[in-house]
Every structure is written in C-alpha cells, then in structure tokens.
Amino acid sequence: MDPEISNLSKAGRQAMAAQDWATVHVCANGILKRSRRHPEGFFFLGLVEKASQHPKKAVAAFEEVLQLDPNRYDAAVELATQYSMGRRNGEVEDLLGRYEDKLSNSPRYLDMAGTTYTEIGLPEKAWPLYQKACELQPEIGLFQANLATCAVFIGEIEVAKEAYSKLLQQNPLHQRNHYQLARLEKAKDTKHIEQMEMVLQETRLPPDRNIFLHYALGKEYEDLQQWDKAFEHYRQGGDAVVSVANYDIADDLAIIDKVVEVCNAEWLQSELADVVEDKVPLFIVGLPRTGTTLTERIIASHSQVQSVGETEFIQMIMRNNSDVQAVDKMTAEMIESVARKGITRIRDGYMDTIRYRLKEAPIFIDKLPFNVLYLGFIAKAWPGRPIVLMNRHPMDACFSMYKQVFTWAYKYSYSLEMLGQYYVAYDRLCRHWRELLGDRLVEVQYEELVSDQEAQTRKLLDALGLEFEQACLEFEKNAAPSATASSVQVRQKAHTGSVQRWRRYEEQLEPLRAYLADAGIAVD
C-alpha cells in the first residue's frame, strides 16, 4: 500500500473512533486524491455521509466499497444498517447472511449486525452474533445490554436477568437497565425498590430524566400490592412524558375521524384486490395491552400459521403511496390521499416488503395494535379474509396502557385525560368496523379467553377456518421470538391475574371512569 494512503487510513480510523467526522472526511478525500478507486476512501466517505444523515449518499459509498473489494465486511454491515433504515429488509437479511462468517473477530461489527437483524424482526439471528461479541469483549456494556435485550425477545429470561444485574453492578445509576430488570420478574421484596429510590435521591434529575425509573418503581410497588405508591410513580412517569412529548391528541383524533369518513361501504366495494397469493396475512389488532400478543401466540402455535410479529409495513406502504409529505408517521391528509389510490398498490407493496419473513406456513400473522386504524384498507386489499379484533374491559385496557412505557409511541396513553378522549374515539372506530366488515371481524374478549382458554381457542380457530390443535393451548412452549411489551408474559400460561386490576386504583381512576361512562361506554 502507498505509505501516504496507509497513514491517511490510520489517521482516519483514529478520527472515526473519536467521531471526528471532519477529519475522517479529510482523510477520505486525501486517499481518493491519490487513488480514485480506493475502497478505504469510499468507506470513510460512507461513514461521513452516515453521520451527516445522508442515507442515499451513504448507501452509494458503501456499495462502491463492496464493488471494489467484496471482502470488506465492515462496509457490508454498514450498508445493511442503511438498507434497514430504508426498510429494504429483504436485502438486509441477504447481505448480512453473506457476511456473517467474516465477522468472527470483530466485536463491533458483530454487535452492529446483531442490532440490524433485531431491527428487521430477526432476533433469533442476532442472538449468536451478540453472544460472540460479548465473548470477545465482555467488558463492553453496550454489547452486554444488547445481548440482554435480545435474550428477552427469544425467551432467555435468566440470561437477561444476569446480564442486567451485572450491568447495574457496574453502573447503579443506569435507569433504563433498572426498568428492564424490573420487567423480568415479580418483585418479592423491597431490595430493588430501595436501590432505585436511592438513585432518585442521589441524582436529583428533572422529572423527564427519571421516566424509566418511575415506571420501574410503579411496577415493583404494584407487585408488592402497595397500590398508592405504585400509582404515584406511574403518574409521575406519565406526567414527565407528557411534559416533553410535544403531542397534540387532536392529530390522532383527526385520523380516526378521517378513517371513518373515507372508509365507507361504497369505497370498500369499489376496486377490490384480486388476491392470488399463496401466503395470506391474518391481522390481529386492538388497543395495546388488550391481549393481542396472547392471541397471536395461541394462533401462531398452529401448524398452518407463523407470526412475523409487529411490523409497521402497512402504514409504511400507505405513507409511500400517499401524495402527502409529513414528518408524522400518519396524518388525516395521508389517509384521504391514499384512499383515492388503487388498493393493489397497498397489497403488492406490503407483500413485497414482508416476503423475506415468510416460511412454509400458508397463513402469517401481522400483529400490530394500531393497524386497527387501517382495517378498511386491509379488508379491501384482502377481500374475504378474517381480521381479529381484541377487546378488553375499557378500564383495564386504559390503565394497562397508562402504566406501560411504549418508547414514546401511543402518546395519548401517558395522560388519563387523553386516554379517555382517545378511547371514546376508538370505541366509535370499532363500531364503524363492526358495521362495515360484519362477520369478517372476528372479535375476541380478553377476559373470556384467559378464563376459559380451551373453549375460546376452539371458537377462535373455527372462526378462522383452522382445525383445532393441542399446541394452541400450550402456547407458552412456543419458542418463537417476541419483541412486544408482553415478551416476558408470553412465556407463561394464560391467567386471570390482570382481570379487573383497575379496581385496585378505583379512587385514582375515577375521573377516567366517569368520563367514559358519560360517553356511554360500559365501565362497571
């Protein structure tokens, strides 16, 4: 190698480690000035464009590296991360699959590849990569945290508990790790609570910096049946989210209004898609925390069904086919725009995007609660196919959402007042779908499912045209990954422990109950 290029490469990598992208850019230009087709120069350019949030330029640079030197696994993993950002998930899986064997001595890129696999919904492929990264550099906290997160997804709960415990020994003030540890098992004493309370006292951070700690404390106080203390921490956590969320519930209510307006009977019957796919989706929808994951695991335990988990592909394809540009993931204007487009664009775009996840089973489950907004488009794209809607007692549904961190999704759920407003609109939406879709809407009541699992499972499978299989009653044995808020609970048998849970907090929840009752919703 040209000594000057060698020096520039060394300087560029030192600058890369320090995230000094200006110097990396200088080194890239210096290398390419001396050798216009040098892969290292294009690799540095790709990193600079990535840091500058120019994904198209980053992709072009990393693709050029691989054209010049197909053995550059670092460029391959960097390119995969950029493909993932663009939701080119099938290409991500193919690319990482071709380079996995070359990563064995690079903990950084093992970890990055694992994270990218996780982002596209394949934590089972991420798992051995995280394990290898931690084996090579066990002292790196980020690698251990990623391993722990993945362990929860694939059901290795004891591994996750050990990893989070070790991380907290190294850094007792790490709030998110306290929260993750609290999720993994039921508190039996106040030991962990005392540690978290001490963090609050020692750090004295503003409320919006204590969000995860408040939810962890709320969860463990609830485990110990200290209801007032639990609710106070849930309230503080929710209030803190609201204070920084920059959220107006009117936007979400406008989406529901627009969906009800445009997705009417006349629209539904016009230009139905001609479905000839050998794989067909089964969408499970409802509010979060209403049993969508439980129902998914039950059905996905059937030999004719697989689950692809929660994807945002329906919403993504709808955004891509609307004529509206917006920062928000969805707006009322996008709904109106895409409703005027041919429905085959939605179906074909979705199937092209999801195909990398599909296996032998003829039916695949896409379980994402807020797809309830798009049932009209789903029903039109796959005419005749059933759709599962989960129902739960309004107060239990609302309170279960209120005490859950959704990583800033479902922003209405952090305020009891906004929860009430949204639930009233949601109830109207569900009534609209019942009237529009009729028998195609297969409704499951959470309370009935957990109290009489076999009878309700048989009834559900029959409605879906599936023969009963014993495995559906033993869903907790299903080894498939789960990356939802219920990823720990799905490893357990169904139980009624969460039924009527809200009554432990009747006094605090009375304003919400009264609001729903005044709107005509049965809450008693």
Domains for the chain: give ranges and CATH numbers: 172-244 (no CATH), 249-518 (3.40.50.300)
Q: Which helix (H) or strand (E) element contains residue 365?
A: strand 363-367
| Residue listed under structure tokens 């005749």 | 384
R_g of the chain, CA atoms, integer Å = 25
236-266 pLDDT, tens digit each: 999 999 999 999 999 999 999 999 999 999 9
CA distance 119 to 84: 7
C-beta of residue 295 within 8 angstroms of C-beta of residue 442: no
CA distance 169 to 172: 6
CB neighbourhood size of 212 (10 A): 20
CA distance 466 to 305: 9
Among the listed residues 346, 438, 424, the one whose alpha carbon sits nearest the alpha carbon of residue 389:
438
At residue 119's C-alpha, the angle toward residues 113 and 121, to 5°, is 110
C-beta of residue 300 within 8 angstroms of C-beta of residue 293: no
Lookup: tokens for 333: 């204007």
Residuewise pLDDT in 10s, the chain (524 residues): 688 999 999 999 999 999 999 999 999 999 999 999 999 999 999 999 999 999 999 999 999 999 999 999 999 999 999 999 999 999 999 999 999 999 989 999 999 999 999 999 999 999 999 999 999 999 999 999 999 999 999 999 999 999 999 999 999 999 999 999 999 999 999 999 999 999 999 999 999 999 999 999 999 999 999 999 999 999 999 999 999 999 999 999 999 999 999 999 999 998 765 666 789 999 999 999 999 999 999 999 999 999 999 999 999 999 999 999 887 889 999 999 999 998 999 999 999 999 999 999 999 999 999 999 999 999 999 998 999 999 999 999 999 999 999 866 799 999 999 999 999 999 999 999 999 999 999 999 999 999 999 999 999 999 999 999 999 999 888 777 766 666 677 667 888 888 999 999 999 999 999 999 999 999 98
Query: 194-198 — which CB contacts under 8 Å span 24+ positions?
Result: 195/168, 196/220
37, 40, 41, 43: CA torsion to nearest 10: 110
Lookup: tokens for 460: 């559900």
